[in-house]
Structure 1
Amino acid sequence: MLQRPLVNEYPEYYKPYVTLVPDGDLLLLLKEHLVKTIELFESLSEGGGHFRYAENKWSIKEVLCHMADTERIMSYRLLRVGRGDQTSLAGFNENDYVQGSQIHKLPIKSILEDFIATRKATLTLIQNMPEEAWTNIGFANNTEVTARAIAYIIAGHALHHLNIISDRYLPLLK
């Protein structure tokens, strides 16, 4: 079973994500999150997908797009670090990605399908990662990070946004 990363294996700004991940089997947790994410987004109407809990905040559709984009980028980082690649990987601006997606033009079902495909690819990547690769150190956004830290960041990032949707969006949609 994949071990939780030590605090020196990732930048401080990822700590909130890593600490959100409960102890246990990370693969099982990611699979459970996928089911919960599907249930949540399938329960929303198309109009609900456009909802913003405050001015200048992302719509629910944009949050889901951001979750997929970030997971895709972090999985790519996991692949590179896991394979021993020492090339420094660039950071990204999540606001630019959401704005560039023009996600408001897509049905929520299409965005959800993209997230599902991304999560399934993440699951197979983690499942097939060699045991000795988890402690590989790479460089992303000008900081050192281990492969196992990236896996936990992926899980924690999705949890973070599901919590925000549950706490800030859904109560106002009722």
Structure 2
Amino acid sequence: MGTIQLATTEFNEYYKGYIDLAIHLPLLQGLADGMLETHSFFEGLPRDKHDFRYAEGKWTPKEILLHLIDTERVFAYRALQFARAENVEIRGFDQDEFAANSNANLRTMEELLDEYIAVRTANIVLFTSFTEETMQRMGIASNSPLSVRAAGYIICGHEKHHIAVINERYL
């Protein structure tokens, strides 16, 4: 699958920034490259930054990494659901509630990175299994249309966004 242009009807406008960060690469390449870049980035964070918050109520880098993992699982499930049963509707999820209950700061960065690699590897296999036709299937997530392929690009751009935030506000 080559580089594509997504129609604005394939996703909620909220996700445009994430998609714009990722759309320049074919999806499978973006997922594979993102895995290497994200792993390397978090592995290279100084230990004294793992539990750092730049302001009250903000997430630590470990919480951000687990947020990326959780969000990837959610969007991969949405992609799978839409790939297998077109035109289904899936409710949203509360990322702040997920983070508050994640216990990310009780885990090591190494444990979180192992989980990240496992999830991303599984999702590369999942997206590889989809045909071009399947990638264009649609469903409703959080009361908005979403295509299978847009879900994949959101995963890719979402992690790029959070790495930029960490670089800007944590380092």
TM-score normalised by length of structure 1: 0.91
Partner of 2:160: 159
Say whether residues 1:106 and 2:145 are aligned partners. no
Q: Is the 8 A contact 1:74 1:154 kept in 2?
A: yes
Say whether residues 1:54 and 2:27 are aligned partners. no
The 3-state SS of whatever aligns with 1:138 is: strand
1:75 shift after superposition: 0.3
Q: Is the 8 A contact 1:4 1:148 kept in 2?
A: no
Partner of 1:35: 36
Partner of 1:137: 138
- What stretches of structure 1 move > 6 A for 4+ residues in a row? none
Partner of 2:70: 69
The 3-state SS of whatever aligns with 1:4 is: coil
Measure, in 2, the Cα distance between the counterparts of 1:133 and 1:141: 20
Measure, in 2, the Cα distance between the counterparts of 1:38 and 1:76: 22
Q: CA RMSD in A?
A: 1.4
Partner of 1:79: 80
1:106 shift after superposition: 0.8
Q: Is the 8 A contact 2:49 2:170 kept in 1?
A: no
1:93 shift after superposition: 0.6
Structure 1: segments with no counterpart, 5+ residues: none
Number of residue pairs the alignment of both structures matches? 170
Mean Cα deviation higher: 40-49 or 84-93 = 40-49
Structure 2: segments with no counterpart, 5+ residues: none
Q: Equivalences for 1:88-99 in 2 at 5 Å?
A: 88-99=89-100
Q: Percent identity?
A: 36
Measure, in 1, the Cα distance between the counterparts of 2:77 and 2:145: 15
Aligned amino acid, residue 158 of structure 1: E
